[in-house]
Amino acid sequence: MRRYSHGYVREESSIRKIIKGGGRLTNPLFWINENNELNALYFPLMFAVPSLYLIAGFIFSVAYAFRSELREEKRRYLVIGSVPFGVMAFGMIQVVALNAPTFCFGCTIMWLWFYIQNTKALISVDDLTHLNNRGQINRYLEQIRYSEDSRVIILMIDIDKFKGINDRYGHAEGDRALVIVSDALRQTCDQINASVFLGRYGGDEFTIIIQNPKDEDHTERLITLLRNNLAEKQQENSLPYELDVSIGYDEVTDGNDSVYACMTRADEKLYIDKKRNAGKM
């Protein structure tokens, strides 16, 4: 402080305090000297805090991916985790190799990639069950071609007495039943050693498309696994109603057959199975 002749005391200006405290990190002269040259610690410290944040995001994303039992959730967490990893890589290029703002470009590129990935998911994934939606099923069917070296089998699956669940327990419980069946279907497909495509066809109806070598038949095993998984999930969730499905399936027979005709035959067999199941109840 400085005392003046007229008798009052005035605090030193904040600028003088900063200049006097030349060793503190908050002092601009710590970062930039009188020749306008940056301190050697400037860039390492500038990247330290965001890098720690990005590393933490990557670690947590990978950890959640490994904990998740659902394939779609694993993929989503790994996509999220790859964003900070990519940003860090661009940051290291800027610090080590190039005197250019690659860190900023890297952030833009990675978040744009993340946006595209999520947009693709929104277009192709059903909101409630997180399975492939009807549009994605149709796009997948268009890519399938008959081959003598492999079989194409299409299963159509429908929840039994689903309307009764909605009417008696409400639509929220109906949605819950759809999610539980979806989880059982996903779990079942993961247990099959074949190329398996799973989607929600619409309402309470689902589609599974199996492509596998001629000498293998996974269909009956898949159906048995699905019913067992459904029974386990019904017990785990203490459902007040029986959760079961009707199933119809057929196979693409030759080059003159189409996957759409095969799906139609599978759908017809589904309703035959549904009537048979209704007669047992």
β partners of residue 125: 132
> What's the pLDDT score for residue 6?
45
Give which of 168, 195, 165 is closest to 180, Cα–Cα.
Answer: 165
Q: Which residue has the tokens 């990675």?
A: 110
Residue 141's φ and ψ, nearest 5 degrees, are -60, -35
Contact of 164 with 172, CB cutoff 8 Å = no
**Exposure on the CB side of residue 62, measured as CA atoms within 13 A:** 10
* One-letter amino acid of 13: S
Is the pLDDT higher at 12 or at 243?
Answer: 243
* pLDDT average, residue stretch 101-107: 68
Residue ranges of the alpha helices (H) in 93-101? Answer: none
Q: What Å distances lie between residue 71 and 36, 40, 127, 188, CA to CA?
A: 53, 46, 16, 12
The sign of the torsion formed by the CA atoms of 57, 58, 63, 67 equals: positive
What pLDDT sits at residue 43? Answer: 67
- C-alpha dihedral over 52, 55, 57, 63, to 10 degrees? -140
The residues near 179 (Cβ < 8 Å, ≥ 6 apart) are 128, 129
Nearest to 132 by CA among 143, 113, 232: 143
Tens-digit pLDDT profile for residues 152-168 = 999 999 999 999 999 99
Average pLDDT of the segment spanning 122-150: 86
**Tens-digit pLDDT profile for residues 196-215:** 999 999 999 999 999 886 66
The answer to whether 22 touches 29, Cβ cutoff 8 Å, is: yes
For 170-196, write each residue's pLDDT tens digit: 999 999 999 999 999 999 998 888 889
Classify 30 in phi/psi space as left (phi over 0), alpha (psi -120 to 50) or beta: alpha
14 pLDDT above the threshold of 80: no
When pLDDT is cut at 50, 70 and 90, the band that residue 67 belongs to is confident
Q: Are 110 and 83 spatial neighbours (Cβ–Cβ below 8 Å)?
A: yes
Residue 132 has pLDDT above 80, yes or no: yes
C-beta atoms surrounding 106 within 10 Å: 19
Considering only residues 36 and 144, tell me which one the structure prediction assigns the higher pLDDT.
144
Place 216 in a pLDDT band, splitting at 50, 70 and 90.
confident
C-alpha dist (Å) from residue 70 to 4, 66, 107, 226: 76, 10, 29, 16
The tally of CA atoms less than 13 A away on the side-chain side of residue 72 is 22
Flag whether pLDDT at 19 surpasses 70. Answer: no
* pLDDT single digits (tens) 233-272: 999 999 999 999 999 999 998 888 999 999 999 999 999 9
Amino acid at 25: L
Per-residue model confidence (pLDDT) at position 7 = 43
Q: Can you give the pLDDT at residue 112?
A: 67
Length of the chain: 281
Report whether 177 contacts 162 (CB < 8 A): yes
Is pTM beyond 0.85? Reply is no
Query: Could you tell me the end-to-end alpha-carbon distance of the chain, in angstroms, rounded to an integer?
Result: 94
Partner residues linked to 53 by β-bridges? none
* pLDDT score, position 255: 84
| CA–CA dist 139, 141 (Å, integer) | 6
